Structure 1
């Protein structure tokens, strides 16, 4: 049987191998990982940084493949179908999969530490004194909150006028900054930063106290190998619906892949692409349709989710702003359905709005009631087919079945269903469902007694 070689050992590569074996693929699979660590879920590094998870908890299960760690792929010979490594070794393939991920986009400032790998995480954990986080996107906000939770003095510096500008409008950004300030994070938005004589100086002239500066300034798809091999590359490695590159023997998935002009950079999209490619390589006819964008901030004390696309000229826009309580919501509706949404400080509404979007269902006539919460927003009362964990497509029904089978804690439910092991954004919902099931079981016992 043909040999599959996967370059990269992150979540996308891991998911691909799992699905290939689950679909009955028995041929040889080799995985080349540049890091010395076994595969782990880098999306959960913020939880490690916050002390909420030990480093070993983000490790992914072993897979049935020849996994080679500490191996750097340096070139691809498409004519001979071989991959060259940093040691000069040549590895043959019949099918090649690029799962090379992305690399940090670093400002030209000396001494910056990215938050991208376990090694980065370990270095940051060992830091003392005040810290600066550069970049106020999702990762930067999560990192700043995690470090404050560990007792650090933290300043979050963002070059744009407001935080998370890709997900929030100015009003939402200001309310988020206010909430983070309440949690002890210093916010400096609308400021560029320079490094002068070992000091971080804003363009306003203010000095930011920092023994260590952490860069959360975005990523770019890792396309170096693809460019050298002469594959079609724009922002990412260009792929079709079957995740094929311009060379039909080479595929690309995850952060490095560009599909239909988009590089989502989400773990959900990486796993969906891995599932599709596994089907294709096993003779199926699956196609990747694109991923519905849902971003849930993983920052203790901040409930924030961004869904779909808000900017649409033909959408009905519903906005609710409650600065006194730190709440803000914006819905973009098209044909009575949710095209996009931002919810800050509305935990009860997040589940309902997400389910309506995922299932393409019409919204209720009373938009305000939807935002202020309904009984269906409680995880324990959602429809049985409601998806709780989007990364692994785990429904309330699956979680309930696992509970009834003896998984009586969040950790046990995670092992049984994989819920919470993706982006981690569903952890609170799984915990809520777990509590609801425990309460329901207790009531049933009392009724019998």
Structure 2
């Protein structure tokens, strides 16, 4: 018996899951359908800044194709409604897609700040920076000398500013925080990122809030700051973070908080529905980074394969009747989500065993808990210790990596090396003989060893702490 797996979302997480399931169709009885809202084949969102800078074409960032027939990945198809009673996804093109298991990989939307001058639609010349279409529209709008303002100096805003500068635009960055990338970096590292951008000709304003957009005839002409000063602009990029796309799940009555709430098996409050990637909230965390999304896809693929092996059709070990309402389904469901997220990044870690997740709002298990099939221990997703990494390529390339806590607490040991001439900076934070955080800019030769040490959460060896930041044992 073939199990119908429908994945809503053809981003990195959804495509990874589909590739994991599709190659073994002869041994794993799955019929996989991916519904992708974008017209493009699945692509690597982490590399969009490279496309904007002109270093890569859109074809270069395409992900490996999902095996299967022409209907496996349906491009340009938007899912509008989930009927959990009949286990059917209804799409904007009028089609209805039945499922045995549904996977929500709906990703996230860019946050549009509450700026004056945005009344229902963005003026011409104002661009979010989230999708390949956003990227291509920006590339078409920018030429040498174009006055471009980037609103937001986080990881995504810094990437966009660098790429626009490489295209020859006159770029200004406005950022509310005291330092660039202050969510991930300490002030010293943020200052080096600022210096790097300024050396490329980018004008940077921190502790500076954008209040509104000026436009004439529906086309943007400037960005008004909180102090009343207006930055002239022919092009504005909104890089103010992302928010999980949870509307489809909330409308279907699934539990939504910051993201779509899932347990260690990536199940939502409906045992037939899973969520992975930027839209998923696991143990109170929405990651918004690439590696956690891919790890979640891998764990879910393993779980679906195990269920298929046990039940023959990839179904839960205990199957309620179609349309039945479980105890978890009957609980009140929040209808909206709050903002969260970051830009791109990578990560390390992720465990495979844990106790069932508890619903802290109700004090009861978040999902019905059917007995697991006998045999080897089932995979579990227990979280990812995420390493944020940004590579600003091209001439004068500049690499940034950060993990854990960027700032020390009282009593922590801090080891720091700085080379102002080369623009290199390395810092780690040690607490009770454990590595709890680090920031590296410029030379990232030690980042792999540091990230593994941090992810393993093991006691550090009794060697001078300087050894952590050098290639030669501290000599």
TM-score, shorter chain, exceeding 0.5: yes
Distance of 1:343 and 1:274 partners within structure 2 = 29
Instruction: Quote the residue 2:18 is aligned against.
Output: 17
Instruction: Return the structure number with greater helix share.
Output: 1
Taking the TM superposition and a 5 Å limit, the aligned residue runs for 1:25-36 are 25-36=28-39
Instruction: Quote the residue 1:241 is aligned against.
Output: 264
Contact 1:253 1:274 (8 Å CA) reproduced: yes
Distance of 2:413 and 2:252 partners within structure 1 = 46
Secondary structure, aligned partner of 1:57? coil
Q: Does 1:373 align with 2:471?
A: yes
Deviations 1:226-254 (A, max 9, x none): 00000000010000000000000000000
TM-score (norm 2): 0.75
Contact 1:74 1:85 (8 Å CA) reproduced: yes
Distance of 2:444 and 2:222 partners within structure 1 = 40
2:131 to 114, 117, 127: 117
Please tell me the root mean square deviation across aligned C-alpha atoms, in Å. 2.1
Q: Does 1:104 align with 2:200?
A: no
Instruction: Quote the residue 1:195 is aligned against.
Output: 213
Deviations 1:290-315 (A, max 9, x none): 01110111213222110123456476
Instruction: Quote the residue 2:178 is aligned against.
Output: 161
Which stretch of structure 1 is more off in the superposition, 345-354 or 248-257? 345-354
Which stretch of structure 1 is more off in the superposition, 326-335 or 205-214? 326-335
1:335 Cα deviation from its structure 2 partner: 4.0
Distance of 2:298 and 2:196 partners within structure 1 = 38
Which stretches in structure 2 are left out of the alignment for 5+ residues? 216-220, 308-377
Distance of 2:462 and 2:169 partners within structure 1 = 44
Taking the TM superposition and a 5 Å limit, the aligned residue runs for 1:211-250 are 211-250=234-273
Change (3 A) 1:146 1:232: same
Instruction: Quote the residue 1:83 is aligned against.
Output: 89
Change (3 A) 1:321 1:123: same
Change (3 A) 1:132 1:374: farther
Contact 2:21 2:32 (8 Å CA) reproduced: no
| Matched positions, count | 376
Distance of 1:330 and 1:142 partners within structure 2 = 22
Taking the TM superposition and a 5 Å limit, the aligned residue runs for 1:271-350 are 271-283=294-306, 285-300=378-393, 301-310=397-406, 313=409, 316-320=412-416, 322=418, 324-325=420-421, 326-350=423-447
1:100 Cα deviation from its structure 2 partner: 0.3
Instruction: Quote the residue 2:451 is aligned against.
Output: 354
Secondary structure, aligned partner of 1:304? strand
1:26 Cα deviation from its structure 2 partner: 3.3
Which stretches in structure 1 are left out of the alignment for 5+ residues? 377-449
Distance of 1:46 and 1:375 partners within structure 2 = 36
Deviations 1:93-128 (A, max 9, x none): 110000000000012344320111111111111123
Taking the TM superposition and a 5 Å limit, the aligned residue runs for 1:377-416 are none
Change (3 A) 1:314 1:97: farther
TM-score (norm 1): 0.79
Distance of 1:317 and 1:136 partners within structure 2 = 29
1:373 Cα deviation from its structure 2 partner: 3.4
